Structure 1
Amino acid sequence: MTNPILSDWATPFEIAPFDDISDDDFAPALDEALAAHEAEIDAIANNPDAASFANTVEALEAAGRQLDKVLSVFFTVAGADSNPAREALQREFSPRLAAHFSAISSNKVLFARVADLWERRDSLDLTEEQARVLMLTHRGFVRAGAALDGAEDARMKEIKSGLASLGTQFTQNLLADERDWHMELSEADLEGLPGFVVNAARTAGKEKGLDGPVVTLSRSIIVPFLQFSPRRDLREKAYLAWAARGANGGDTDNRAIAAETLALREERAALLGYDSFADYKLETEMAREPAKVRELLMAVWGPAKARADADAEVLTRMMQEDGINGPLEPWDWRYYAEKRRKAEHDLDEAALKPYLQLDRMIEAAFACANRLFGLEFRQLDIPLYHPDCRAWEVTRNGAHVAVFIGDYFARGSKRSGAWCSAMRSQAKFPAVQAPVVINVCNFAKGDPALLSYDDARTLFHEFGHALHQMLSDVTYESISGTSVARDFVELPSQLYEHWLEVPEVLREFATHAETSEPMPQDMLDKVLKAANFDMGFQTVEYVASALVDLAFHEDAAPADPMARQAEVLADLGMPHAIGMRHATPQFAHVFSGDGYSSGYYSYMWSEVMDADAFAAFEEAGGAFDEERARALETHILSTGGSREPDVLYTAFRGRLPGVEALLKGRGLAA
């Protein structure tokens, strides 16, 4: 029988037939798809005709369609609904895939054809988009080591394979630590917790087969527990478990993996002639060089630390008023910050949360996309990979645009965090294909599911990435959607967060779960006024992580990353009661793959632009200004990686922004 993964998908919108696919299908499908791709690459490399853009670059763009199908399905379920079989397959597949793509990038005959085209590029009569794809293709080969020979070439292949295996193991270790730990709560332990926290804890207990409530290491449960539990001993126990993920000793400890990863990255950069891995990685980003990244981060660090230090003094006094002496600890900060928020802004998250229903926030994200870009959403009834998933057809003026899938709830089989991916990216070559886009989140289940304000912001953030994929309008898949510089990719997502704070959006969609009444005006005012509350804490925990990431890759690879982390934090004067947002053993952005290595700063780099970009709407006709929305789609959301990001942003805004917009947006400006 034909493998269901490789067959023609006779499903609505050619969505993967998840109900026909079993775990046993993945390995044979990968074998067949790899062989097919190898044959395609061999045919391109050994084409007897002289190299042309069509028979080389476009042929590379068209190759690997079977492999794309296999990988899109497998990595979707491996990340969002893992199990022991899928984890074993991931460990098996990672080095094989690394070897496969390394063989392509080091294929000397193939690279010679690409290099020949690059040398003759001015005489090829290419469109602007084709010239861009040729440049990126040539650059990709060079940066992957295609120009290396002999022992250096062989060593580069070994490094890539090693990094792929290490990244997979890091991810699986972190998932295991998050899945295996929980803290059971007695009825007495629930005292002082608002109803939504109690309900989430009871639901988590049921999912683990227990009769009573539990605290897990899912952010959607542990953070509100740290905010609201008056039991300092339980907060400490929960926080220490959360902070220790990936550093508990034994088979799931990530510290040695981090050290080996950094050493291999350093060697990889040296083989390619770079002074450091950060120099190598940042060459293709907007920042271009480590010094510019450090300049941005340190410009923000000073004001943020000053704010955090002042806040720590206030929270310490509050703690002392409760009869607790000694220093403010990391498991104290969120609890006393929440009490302070309630006192100073009269804003109680327990009272706020019923107004932030998941379904209504999804509607809000869709409604904003409709007003800005004319998109419409129709729910679909199709088989997906998990019962929690939902799907919508996205149309504009009656024409199909995309399929959007939302997978919103936390579960033990899902890795932590939130992300957007495309099971199929937009392209017009070799045939027109509409995107299939997924948002994956980790919100606590409930009936109805209620979000914190941060959760709602996350939903809008990931949907901003989805819009970048759905509104893409380019010819070649390699530059489609979010295929842009890492420090530009967060612009659409962070920019879209701003629409959550538009008063008319909250007035319409923030309705009470029981009464359906809209959020009262005084509460709405308090929410918006408190938007920058505790921003010192939030900025310090983020910037500290970004600076540690930069230090790991800017300098010689540390034999002991934990010691280097401690050194960086000490030099910064890291506040005692604030932990890094992602300590090294759980820093999946940096160690699960190369995506954000040397690049965790990119959220802040993009924030410089998103604050300035939303100001462009405010300076025009408001949040839903038609001309600004049209410019945003034309110059950023539809263009993918077809031009350099600074060119795209300047086309939208007329200039590049400075850090002042970010500091003002975070309430950190003097």
Structure 2
Amino acid sequence: MQYKTIAGGKCPQLLIMLALVGCTSSQPQQPAATAPAPGATTQMKQEFDNPLLAEWTGPYGGVPAFDKMDLAYLQPAMEKGMALHLADIDAIVNNTAAPTFENTIVPYEKAGEALNRAFTYYGIWSSNMSSPEFRKIQAELAPKISDFRSKISQNTKLFQRIKAVYENAQKNPLPADQQRVVQLVYEDFAMEGAGLSTADKERYAAINKELSSLYTSFANNTLADEEKYVTYLTKDQLSGLPESFVKAAAKAAADRGQAGKYAVTNTRSSMDQFLTYSDNREMREKVWKTYYSRGDNGDANDNNQNITKILELRDERVKLLGYDTYADWRLQNRMAKNPKNAMDLMEAVWPAALARVKEEVSDMQAVANKTGAKITIAPWDYRYYAEKVRKQKYDLDSEEVKQYLELGNLTQALFFTAGELFNYNFKPVPEGSVPVFHPDVKVWEVTNKTTGEHIGLWYLDPFARTGKRSGAWATTYRSHTTFDGKKTVLASNNSNFVKPAPGEPVLVSWDDATTFFHEFGHALHFFASNVKYPTLNSGVRDYTEFQSQLLERWLSTDRVINQFLKHHKTGQPMPAELVAKIKKASTFNQGFATTEFLASALMDMKFHTLKDPAGLDPDKFERETLAALNMPKEIVMRHRSPHFGHVFSSEGYATGYYGYLWADVLTSDAAEAFEEAPGGFYDKEVAARLVKYLFAPRNSMDPAEAYRLFRGRDAKIDALMRDRGFPVPGEQKKKK
């Protein structure tokens, strides 16, 4: 996940958490310049000397004051930051000079710097360090943030100035980067209802305000279920589990006051390992149901009513703008352009994925029958028997592979890849020289290997803990820009690896290692930015996953394997025969992986192409939609609707989850460009084009045009199908 520029200012936000809604202006309350009254010292300190608003000081162009984070400062910082931002907007709209890029767009790009800093801390508390105390503040702030954004996105005078600059630029084009900024800013305001009537604007703002609270409720309900529902095992229930998992589970139980037991936490990393290795089918079923029922337990944290209300409000809002469905509105400025194009791609892949699932289930059932297990493969059996099939078909043991995937070595592999492709060097900063928000967080300085130029800092927060949302994501605390003095990048990667027992190595699965590379791809996208204006760092949802998905490919290159995938005990590199097995099995279980993802992406699109979602029963709709799609009974959506945070805890991925597949078409096609080059994945000429056209420009040019400049043509679906071991459209006919 990334911070993103939105209409109404560059208010950074974690997309998993906050709504992509607009912002507008009214005269802010100015603080009284008087001495504090007796007893008001704390309040006035928060107002006048708030470290969450203060400019970042220290080395590396200034860094966040994570060592001064105190929840007592948060709400005053956010409220004062919003007031300051609105004052910046007022200065723009009260300018009596004719609108120009310099007197309208430039100050708009500068607006809200103090609030951006406050949002950085807000995002950390939301995703990395949540607590009941924070959630109370979050619930109170959510509608205020929505109101603030509406005051900008629906500011008629501001939109008139932006529109004037836009129309003048259509007649007399500006330099390319300025032209792109004007286009993106104007389109954002138009999409957020800036041209509506006064009455419709009021309703639009009210909808956004209500949605902001619903998004917060949805996210917090999911997190509450992740924290609340922990499965405890006794010693006689550990059969099949790897030693490393058992030790970590013992520590997790002890940390929760259950010494002597073993905790399977309600997170994907913990659940996935347990379902893969546990011999105890009854406990597999329990862990599976606990994980996939998050937000769907009929209690105070149930999200079904939230889903219905969110869909109703989204539908009402886009109808104010004249669109038939939310999907029609949302996709107009994406690469897909409309729901049909997105559906066409998914429907082209779906049948091949279903066919592969049938093969996989047949193989698994045969193994179960052979071992005397009188069962029919169920969802909680899929990972377990898939692992047995993997061993049988490819003689590949995932636990054996993990012995070569130690987190420290994988981190060095990331740095090596960045050095080869981007000419970057990563050096640990001296301990204590840069504040961090948790002892687990480590920081590296990023420089150019040739010139020594400082590029930025990379923060890594690797481990799961209470209060940290599940999954993996990337963020920026500061993005690269040059229009107002050069700003260097502060980027962060966040994972949820299971923290080992003291003295034990951090060993991860091949899938988790792939995700580690994926999220680092986002970070490299941040570091590579060469844009001048903040708006150009924004992302296009069905393109922004491309760079990160592409970087996954370097994990399986020979140079990374030979240098960094070493046995954690012996230090010996991964044997050639094990590497061969991994590569031979690269398309193994693609039926499962593709189907669980596509089911979520299709459900996302089906929800948002409803003509009238009023009174929808989400559970029933999910069941009926999946049945109509012939969803295999042995697989569930990767993210079931009641905990589908991508879609219902913000608008970042709403009707955008298909974007991972759209981006993977580009990924597979781009990977073949490297495979065809003389130097393979380390070919200097192709790498230079990659950085120049696909990483450095960010959103300063149309993504489709950027890809054509890199590849010399548009991407084709053929490479994606080959990667997954699926039939390539047209090739079967040719063979006949």
TM-score (norm 2): 0.89
- From 641, 654, 667, give the equivalent of 1:597: 654
Alignment of 1:534 with 2:586, yes or no, is no
Residue 734 of structure 2 is matched in structure 1 by: none
State the 1:199 CA deviation: 2.1
Q: Equivalent residue for 1:416?
A: 470
Aligned residues: 668
SS in 2 for 1:393: strand
1:56, distance to aligned residue in structure 2 (A): 0.6
Instruction: Give the AA of the match of 1:640.
Output: R
SS in 2 for 1:278: helix
Q: Distance in 2 between matches of 1:567 and 1:434?
A: 50
Amino acid at match of 1:589: H
Query: Quick check: 2:324–2:611 contact (8 Å CA) kept in 1?
Result: no
Aligned to 2:42: none
**CA deviation string 1:613-658 (max 9, x = no partner):** 1111111121011111111111111001011110111111111112
Q: Indicate the SS of the match to 1:442.
A: strand
- 1:215-364 matches, within 5 Å, as 215-364=264-413
Instruction: Identify unmatched segments of 5+ residues in structure 2.
Output: 1-44, 729-736
Provide the residue aligned with 2:9 in structure 1: none
Q: Does 1:197 align with 2:227?
A: no
Match of 1:578 in 2: 635
Tell me which protein shows more helix as a share of its residues: 1
Conserved 8 A contact 1:247-1:253: yes
2:581 maps to amino acid: K
User: Contact between 1:494 and 1:610, CA under 8 Å: does it hold in 2?
Assistant: yes
- Given the alignment of the two structures, is residue 632 of structure 1 paired with residue 684 of structure 2, yes or no? no
Structure 1 runs not aligned, ≥5 long: none
Provide the rounded CA distance (Å) in 1 between the counterparts of 2:173 and 2:345: 40
Counterpart for residue 40 of structure 2: none
Mapped pair 1:80 → 2:112: no
Q: CA RMSD in A?
A: 1.2
SS at match of 1:421: strand
The answer to whether the 8 Å contact 1:479/1:642 transfers is: yes
Runs (4+) off by over 4 Å: none
* Aligned partners of 1:420 and 1:437 also within 8 Å: yes
Distance 1:6 1:575 in 2: 51
**Match for residue 55 of structure 2 among 5, 8, 12:** 8
Using the TM superposition, give the Cα deviation of residue 342 of structure 1 relative to its aligned residue in structure 2, in angstroms: 1.1
Which residue of structure 2 aligns with residue 171 of structure 1?
219
Tell me the alpha carbon deviations over residues 596-622 of structure 1, each in whole angstroms, 9 at most, x when there is no partner: 100100000000000111111111121
Deviation for aligned residue 1:314 = 1.7
Matched, 1:151 2:208: no
Range 277-286 or range 514-523, more displaced:
514-523
Give the AA of the match of 1:562: D
TM-score of the aligned structures, taking structure 1 as reference length = 0.98
Cα distance between partner residues in 2 of 1:181 and 1:321: 35
Where 1:252 maps in the other structure, the secondary structure is: coil
Report the equivalent of 1:391: 443
Cα distance, 1:374 vs. partner?
0.6
Question: How big is the shift at 1:8?
Answer: 2.9
- SS of the aligned residue for 1:120 comes to helix
> C-alpha distance in 1, partners of 2:255/2:139?
27
2:565: which partner in 1?
510
Residues in 2 aligned to 1:292 and 1:623: alpha-carbon distance in whole angstroms: 31
Q: Following the alignment from structure 1 to structure 2, what is the Cα–Cα distance between the partners of residues 556 and 514? A: 59
- Report matched runs for 1:181-196 at 5 Å: 181-196=229-244
What amino acid is the match of 1:34? M
**Alignment of 1:435 onto 2:479:** no
**SS of the residue 1:377 aligns to:** strand
Q: Render the CA deviation track for 1:269-314: whole Å, top value 9, x for unaligned.
A: 1111111100000001000011111110011001110010111122
Deviation at 1:130, TM superposition (A): 0.3
1:19 aligns with 2:70: no
- Report the equivalent of 2:29: none
Offset of residue 568 of structure 1 = 1.4
TM-superposed CA distance for 1:200, in Å, is: 2.4
Matched, 1:121 2:176: no
Match for 1:72: what amino acid? T
Work out whether residues 73 and 423 of structure 1, in 8 Å CA contact, stay in contact via their aligned partners in 2. no
> Post-superposition shift, 1:554?
1.1
CA shift at 1:433, angstroms?
Answer: 0.4
Q: Which residue of 1 aligns with 2:106?
A: 58
Q: CA deviation at 1:42?
A: 0.8
Q: What letter corresponds to residue 569 of structure 2 in structure 1? A: E
Give, in whole Å, the separation in 2 of the partners of 1:324 and 1:266.
Answer: 49
Q: Distance in 2 between matches of 1:192 and 1:451?
A: 17
Partner of 1:566: 623
Q: What is the alpha-carbon distance in structure 2 between the residues aligned to residue 210 and residue 515 of structure 1?
A: 34
Tell me, in whole angstroms, the C-alpha distance in 2 between the residues paired with 1:407 and 1:624: 28
Alpha-carbon distance in 1 for matches of 2:605, 2:627: 15
Change (3 A) 1:184 1:462: same
AA aligned to 1:456 is A
The change in CA–CA distance for 1:521 and 1:557 in structure 2 (over 3 A counts) is farther
Which residue in 2 is equivalent to 1:617? Answer: 674
Aligned to 1:657: 715
> Per-residue deviation at 1:124?
4.7
Does the CA-based 8 Å contact 2:295-2:301 persist in structure 1?
yes
CA distance in 1, matches of 2:286, 2:366: 23
